[in-house]
Amino acid sequence: MGFEKFGRKSFTGITKTAKFVDFLEEGKVNGTVCKKCGAKYFPPRADCAACFSNEMDWFEMPKKGKLETYTIAYYAPFGFEADCPYTMGVAEFEGGLKLFARLSKDLKPEDINVGMDVSVKPVKYEDGQMSFEIVRA
């Protein structure tokens, strides 16, 4: 339980990584790191595909990243229409970890460029849903 609070609209209620949402409430965007072999994962995983361990710790994603790519969605799937248009993208952080998220509404299309410096932070929607977004560095 708990994961239904993730994102604009969640499709998954139960996952062993549901604590991710609690970290968002604390202001942290966290991935998981394997206690046995040190493999780092974002989005978080409960199991390590490198060594098969299921003992994972949480770590906070780095703050300095670059925008690798983005798109502006003018059409939305069912349940997201009211947000249109919205921007989504992929940011790459120190150490090669990447994340996919929406870009902050503060970033206007004309201000967005491939390769720009970005960071990531949690966001709380008016209905209480928790997510994270790519923001200007």
Partner 1 sequence: MAKDVAVIGVGQSYFVRGYEGSIRELAFEAFREAMQDAGITTKDIDASVFCSAPEYDKQRSPAGVLAEYLGLIPQPTFYIETVCSSSSTGVKVAYGMIKSGLHDVVVVLGFQKMSEITSAESQERMGRGADIQWESPFGTMMPAYYALYAQAYMAKNGLTHEDLMNVRIKSATYGQINERAVYRKAVTQADFDPNNPNARMAAPVAWPLRVGDACANADGSSCIILANAEKAKAFSKKPVWIIGIGAASEAVNMAARPDFSKGLRAPYIAAQQAYTMAGIKPSDVKVAEVHDCFTIAEIMAYEALGFAPVGEGKQLIREKATYKEGRIPVNVDGGLLSKGHPIGATGGSQIRTIVLQLRGEAGPMQVPGEPDIGLVHNVGGVGLYGNVTIFGR
Token digits of residue 11: 């499709």
| Choice between 51 and 72, CB closer to partner 1 | 72
10 binding partner (options Zn ion, partner 1, none; Cβ < 5 to 8 Å by kind): partner 1
Cβ pair 9, 37 in contact under 8 A = no
Q: Is 119 in the site for partner 1 (CB under 8 A)?
A: no
36 binding partner (options partner 1, Zn ion, none; Cβ < 5 to 8 Å by kind): Zn ion
Scored b (16 or more CB within 10 A) or e, 116-137 reads bebbbbbbeeeeebbbbbbbee
Which residue in the block uniquely carries the two structure tokens 């994962």? 41
Cα–Cα distances in angstroms (integers) from residue 43 to residues 20, 26, 60, in the given order: 9, 17, 11
Q: Is 91 in the site for Zn ion (CB under 5 A)?
A: no
- Total of residues contacting partner 1 (CB under 8 A): 39
Q: Is 107 in the site for Zn ion (CB under 5 A)?
A: no
53 binding partner (options Zn ion, partner 1, none; Cβ < 5 to 8 Å by kind): Zn ion
| Choice between 36 and 64, CB closer to Zn ion | 36
